[in-house]
Amino acid sequence: MSFFDKLGGEFIDIVEWTDDSRDTMVYRFERYENEIKMGAKLIVRESQIAVFIDKGQIADIFEPGNYELETSNLPVLSTLKGWKYGFHSPFKAEVYFVNTRNFTNLKWGTKNPVTLRDPEFGPLRIRAFGTYAIKVNSAETFIKEIVGTDGHFTTDEITDQLRNLIVSRFADIIGESKIPVLDMAANYDELGEYIGKQIHPDFLAYGLDVTKMLVENISLPPAVEEVLDKRTSMGIIGNLHQYTQFQTANAMEKAAENPSGMAGGGMGMGMGFAMANQMGQSMQNQSQPNESQYQQSRSGESQSNQTTAPSPPPFPQQKMFHVAVNGQSQGPMALSEMKSLVSKGSLTRESLVWCEGMSNWAKATEVDEVKSLFASMPPPLPPQ
């Protein structure tokens, strides 16, 4: 450094930071031997905090505003320097500007699949990714715990650690939530909000706040997605027999439109006959009930003078009851099963029962069907 550079550094009149980079979290103000002229101007802009450090110790912190660096504005530093009578010579101190704005669009994601037990599909492996936003909550804690003596600290230097915290909490939350995989897409907002609350104390330990946590996607392995797509396709197709007939008809139509192709040769004729045979069998299966009905109608005409025996009515459906046993609902069960509960003493006259058609639970003795179970049992003894 030349003599003029040294001389200019010793008489700094303005201390400020105007860097417009989008990833710088902390910037150390550079000057020769950290000398600042007493009475210099300090400019702290919005979304900035200026931290003065003397001999490795945080001395003073300045919020946004314009300051004239005098002993009245530097109470801690003045005490450390022993300026009891307003000493006006240049002083040495490191000045760190901390960016307090929101740092957005930071990425997180699972490096390896997270294994969980799905209630519908069983054991599954899933991946997830999303974005989050942070801001400095405590400049003093952030410098002490993370930045240290780094003169130009960017988001890249801490995002790996923050990502590990998020993924660790995500795996734990997903495992405990028991949310089916097919329902997770409807709970992205709730998951993001809950993850943000769970990792908030971890970020506070670094002097940071999580201002936004978003879950953008939760995906299954490719092999599982392929099987799921096939299952979805089968659900859309519906009646597989009708779908086969439709595909066969389309194939025959296309073969007829191209007589010079495969359908024009022996292979095409064989395929055509096979298709026709398949459709003929389908049509025959559909026509057989009609022929049977026709024969029955003819037989009915020849035996019109004979009386037809009436078919018996369907068996009555047995009522199924739910029983309250030890505060838990058991059932549905038939009366024969309830009889065993009566013999064991689990079902008493005061027990509550319910079946379809009842508006509410009722005592066993108030329901006619159940009341009969206690006919052979003596009533409880009267009180002494």
Instruction: Return the CATH number at 212.
Output: 3.30.479.30
Instruction: Summarize pLDDT for 313-333 with one digit per residue, the tens.
Output: 665 567 888 888 888 888 888
- 0.75 exceeded by pTM: no
CA dist., res. 156 & res. 127, Å (int): 23
Last residue of a domain, one of 223, 251, 284: 223
Reported as a pLDDT band with limits 50, 70 and 90, residue 96 is very high
- Whether 113 and 32 map to the same domain: the answer is no
Domain membership of residue 86 (yes or no) is yes
Domain membership of residue 234 (yes or no) is no
Reported as a pLDDT band with limits 50, 70 and 90, residue 142 is very high
What one-letter code names the amino acid at 36? Answer: I
| Cα–Cα nearest to 379, from 351, 348, 354 | 348
Last residue of a domain, one of 99, 114, 138: 99
Helix (H) or strand (E) holding 205: none
- Whether 140 and 162 map to the same domain: the answer is yes
Segment 351-371 shows an average pLDDT of 87
What one-letter code names the amino acid at 232? Answer: T
Q: By the 8 A CB rule, do 71 and 87 touch?
A: yes
- Whether 76 and 134 map to the same domain: the answer is no
The per-residue pLDDT for 239 is: 63
- Whether 27 and 137 map to the same domain: the answer is no
The per-residue pLDDT for 155 is: 93
CA dist., res. 61 & res. 216, Å (int): 38
- Whether 62 and 111 map to the same domain: the answer is no
- Whether 23 and 117 map to the same domain: the answer is no
Domain membership of residue 355 (yes or no) is yes
Q: Omega into 332 within 30° of 0, i.e. cis? A: yes
The per-residue pLDDT for 297 is: 52
Cβ-based burial of 114 (10 A; exposed 0-12, middle 13-18, buried ≥19): middle
Range of the domain at 46: 3-99
Sign, CA dihedral 341-345-348-354, equals negative
Instruction: Summarize pLDDT for 218-265 with one digit per residue, the tens.
Output: 888 787 777 777 767 766 666 666 667 767 777 777 777 776 654 444
CA dist., res. 189 & res. 227, Å (int): 27
- Whether 128 and 114 map to the same domain: the answer is yes
| Cα–Cα nearest to 347, from 319, 368, 373 | 373
User: In this structure, what token pair is assigned to residue 43?
Assistant: 């400019």
β-pairing verdict for 14-15 and 41-44: parallel
- Whether 114 and 204 map to the same domain: the answer is yes
Residue 214 pLDDT greater than 90, yes or no: yes
Domain membership of residue 303 (yes or no) is no
Reported as a pLDDT band with limits 50, 70 and 90, residue 287 is very low
Any idea which of 13-17, 31-35, 113-117, 212-216 has the lowest mean pLDDT? Answer: 31-35
Last residue of a domain, one of 223, 239, 257: 223
- Whether 150 and 174 map to the same domain: the answer is yes
Count the domains in the chain.
Answer: 3
Domain membership of residue 237 (yes or no) is no
User: In this structure, what token pair is assigned to residue 290?
Assistant: 């009609």
- Whether 87 and 117 map to the same domain: the answer is no
- Whether 82 and 153 map to the same domain: the answer is no
